[in-house]
Amino acid sequence: MKFSIFLLIALSLIFGLNSCSLFDNNQMPDCLKTKKGEDSPGIVTCSNPLFFSRPDWHPAGEWIAAEHADSVDTNKDGKKDTWFVGIWLVHAQSGQTQPLLPFGDAPDWNPDGTHLAVHAGGGIYTVEIASLHPARYDTSSINLITDFEAPAFYPTWSGDGEWIAFDTNYEDPNGTYGIVKKKLNENTIIDITKYRSQGAWRQGDWSKKNDIIAFRKYDVEVDWNIFIANSEGNSLKRLTTKGENYHPKFSPDSRRIIYEHWDGINKSIRIMNSDGDGKKVLAKNWASDMAWSPDGKKIVYVFSNQYYDRPGNGQLWIMNADGSNKKQLTNFKPTMP
């Protein structure tokens, strides 16, 4: 995991060591590198941005963070000169995009909206966001919180912003993943996973209103399902029973949970009460990767169809929390992820 530290230090040096840098010019595909080597490079572009994925809505409601890749114009001369892979900001009304972090996956805002947690290179990082518009982050604030020799993924903040939970196989002799939590600025890792030998715990989401974590857990009898437990791993309860279920997300008031469902043929977004009752399909036909608006009235998600030429494919979409009024938010020509 120490490699991850050196990687982030190197990125900071590439960015010029200023407090609000953006671009890593080494993150360029071959099409850009070839153009860069010509005497008259002209307009540099790779023309095929990658799908959006894993959005998370900022607590203030105006911007959405999401994984994405696209070419950008760094010097404002009208020519796209850099390929930017990492976390982007998307305006929740206009769909305007801005590159933010040139690394990271699965962004998760802290309750105050001042920091993002991401996983990158097998580690969990926190980063202070200096500005939303223009999109800027503080390079000196990049903090690796998992300095151990094991991969870690899917960070989620506690409601008080003092803890981060994530999944990892840290110190498990069989390599089985479980959910652990770590208090910021402290070194203690607390494993909350119970009955790990009976199946992995993954993709946790920590309720911001109470001390409950929702997650996917493997069950030998009924595959991957959504469970909840308190932050000590106790009071374990299964909420789903059919198909494969992934990425639970608590509503801001903690009364509802949205999650991805795979029935063996198709992906869909479903909703249920936090006790597992009231299940309903909100979006079907390859809808996934969803997050709540801070007022709980809307949901952002990704339409990611197996047929890559479908209109709206790879874009962020927004719908009402009851599944109505689906609208495409972003607009670009995607390539296969």
pLDDT in tens, the chain (337 residues): 444 544 444 444 333 333 343 434 444 444 444 444 444 444 444 556 789 999 999 999 999 999 999 888 777 777 777 788 899 999 999 999 999 999 999 999 999 999 999 999 999 999 999 999 999 999 999 999 998 889 999 999 999 999 999 999 998 999 999 999 999 989 899 999 998 888 899 999 999 999 999 999 987 767 899 999 999 999 999 999 888 999 999 999 999 999 999 988 889 999 999 999 999 999 988 899 999 999 999 999 999 876 667 788 889 999 999 999 999 999 987 665 5
- pTM surpassing 0.85? yes
Residues 6+ apart with CB under 8 A from 142: 8, 12, 125, 126, 127
How many Å apart are CA 159 and CA 231, to the nearest integer?
11
**Whole-number pLDDT of residue 46:** 54
CB 283 within 8 A of CB 269: yes
**Which residue do the tokens 């989401």 mark?**
205
Which residues touch 201 (CB under 8 Å, ≥6 apart)?
Answer: 167, 177, 178, 179, 193, 215, 216, 217, 227
